[in-house]
Amino acid sequence: MSEILLISGSPTAPSKSAALLSYSADFLRERGITVKSVSVRDFPAEDLIQANYASPAFTEFKADIERVAAIVVATPIYKAAYTGSLKALLDILPQGALRGKTILPLATGGTHAHQLAIDYALKPVLAVLGASDIQQGVYIVDNQFQTLPGGFKLDAELQTRLDDSLERLYRTVEALDSNALSV
Ligand SMILES: Cc1cc2nc3c(=O)[nH]c(=O)nc-3n(C[C@H](O)[C@H](O)[C@H](O)COP(=O)(O)O)c2cc1C
């Protein structure tokens, strides 16, 4: 079964958007998918800020992107868009790096005011990197999370929405695998 890469664009921890990725990782692993998680926090800030394309810190990330069939990218909304750290990370990717990839975008925000940010801000960047199958994103507001000592709990309605999107992603990857086997 193909592998899925989860990318967290939150510079802070603990992180609600990263919690969505942990949930996604469990969901996908339960269905037999190999999952790898990376965060903007894993990369040297100087390499990100200075767009040090040649940094060895990015070599594995670029190889991960090349290898996987699909990517779940989660970001908090900062100033009506995705985070600057996520943009800095996406900027190091070569032209066409997301060609042929299926992408599920997720975002968390403090208010409903920016619930279209996935569509007007993040999707164009994913598209310019070559992604053609960008699935319908999930936007979640902070008050749909319950803060617990060890992290965050999602409310039931949100969990259903996220499950539906993850199930769609899983089915897409499963279909890609079956097509590859039958060629
Ligand atoms: C610098 C900064 C800017 C933010 N700007 C917005 C914004 O424009 N719109 C919004 O809905 N929420 C905004 N928020 C709230 C965060 O998007 C929200 O709390 C999010 O769930 C945090 O995700 P995280 O825990 O993964 O970092 C902002 C938060 C910060 C720290």
Q: Which atom of ligand 1 is nearest to the CA of 18?
A: 26
User: Whole-model pTM?
Assistant: 0.96
Which residue, judged by its Cα, is nearest atom 28 of ligand 1?
A: 78
Ligand 1 mean position, distance from CA 10 (Å): 9
Contact 44, 180 (CB under 8 A): no
User: What is the mean predicted confidence (pLDDT) over 16-33?
Assistant: 97
The three-state (H, E, C) secondary structure of 114-148, written as one string:
HCCHHHHHHHHHHHHCCCCEECCCEEEEHHHEEEE
Domains of the chain: 3-182 (3.40.50.360)
Ligand 1 mean position, distance from CA 76 (Å): 5
Ligand 1 mean position, distance from CA 142 (Å): 9
36-94 pLDDT, tens digit per residue, is: 999 999 999 999 999 999 999 999 999 999 999 999 999 999 999 999 999 999 999 99
